[in-house]
Amino acid sequence: MHLNINNRKKINFSKMHGLGNDFMVIESITQDFVVSSLKIKELSNRNTGIGFDQLLLIEKSYNSKFDFHYRIFNSNGNEVEQCGNGARCVGLFLILKGLTNKKRINLSTNKKNIIINFISKDIIEINMNEPIFKLNSIINSEKLKNHNFSVKIINNNLLCSLVSIGNPHCVIQVQSIKYAPVKAISEIIEKKFIFPNGINVGFMQILKKDHIKLRVHERNEGETKACGSGACAAVAVGVAKNLLSNNVKVELLGGNLFIEWKGFGNSLYMTGPAKHIYEGYIYI
């Protein structure tokens, strides 16, 4: 039996990764790609599809102030607000595809707008804007005041610091990430009714004021090799609590990111690599 592809659309994509956090990147500027949750689930399957943590979709800008619009979908088909590693890959993709020759790219997203700066060929700095410690967008509770961003959960025994980097994060300080029960604790926290949109959970081990280790369990995904927004969240919490300096090396399972935040009233910057793996196409 021969597959009839005459009535199907050919869609080009790139497979990319940022520190092992891998993506399928598609632009719908020169090609007509209509996204669906079912198709994303099929494509994300690592045995029968392309396999990826997130699908990144680049669209024409809806506002003349921005160069492009950028959307992120988890492997389960759900659209999410932010992805730091993905933003670096999108920047590299736009250059490789000749969609722009700018070294400074303004992207709009569903929640925040971000600025991409090229430090070198594949080392990219992202202006992630100022972290948000106002909890009304993260948590369902009238008892919490905006200046108090730490809450006790799991029988009031575990202190969790909350922050938004365009997407919600819970940061827990641990003695050692090697022995931290990442999966078990994260799954309990994810099911808490106080987090209406789910939450990413980061486990931070402070080595020095300018060096931390981090593991991140991403909502609906599980633990990933690296989480750019999770690294930003951990450093933001550390700086806010005066535990970290303004420039921090974040050591993740997939490699290192460098985060700079001068504290409240300032934007946070993330610097790290983006890598192109291969080109491919699918029929829709």
Residue type at 205 in one-letter notation: Q
Say if pTM beats, i.e. exceeds, 0.85: yes
Predicted confidence (pLDDT) at residue 3 exceeds the cutoff of 80: no
What the block records as the tokens of 236 is 């933001």
Question: Taking each helix axis from N to C terminus, what angle separates 228-240 and 84-96, rounded to the nearest 10 degrees?
Answer: 130
In percent, the amount of the chain with pLDDT more than 70 equals: 92
pLDDT of residue 81: 85
pLDDT of residue 89: 97
pLDDT of residue 145: 47
Q: Of these residues, 89, 170, 227, 232, which one is catalytic?
A: 227
Distance, CA of 43 to CA of 39 (rounded, Å):
6
Distance, CA of 180 to CA of 194 (rounded, Å):
23
What the block records as the tokens of 127 is 């202006």
Annotated binding residues for substrate: 21, 54, 74, 84-85, 167, 200, 218-219, 228-229
Distance, CA of 115 to CA of 127 (rounded, Å):
5
232 is catalytic: no
In percent, the amount of the chain with pLDDT more than 90 equals: 73
What the block records as the tokens of 28 is 């719908």
83 is catalytic: yes
pLDDT of 10-56, one tens digit each? 999 999 999 999 999 999 999 999 889 999 999 999 999 999 999 99
What the block records as the tokens of 3 is 């597959």
Going by pLDDT thresholds of 50, 70 and 90, the confidence category of residue 4 is low
pLDDT of residue 25: 98
Q: What is the pLDDT of the chain when averaged over all its residues?
A: 90
* Domain architecture of the chain: domains with CATH: 10-129+273-283 (3.10.310.10), 135-266 (3.10.310.10)
Please choose, from the candidates 266, 247, 267, the residue with its C-alpha nearest in 3D space to the C-alpha of residue 258.
Answer: 247
Give the count of beta carbons closer than 10 Å to the beta carbon of residue 200.
26
pLDDT of 84-111, one tens digit each? 999 999 999 999 999 999 999 999 988 7
Backbone angles phi, psi at 77, to 5 degrees: 95, -10
pLDDT of residue 52: 95
Annotated binding residues: 21, 54, 74, 84-85, 167, 200, 218-219, 228-229
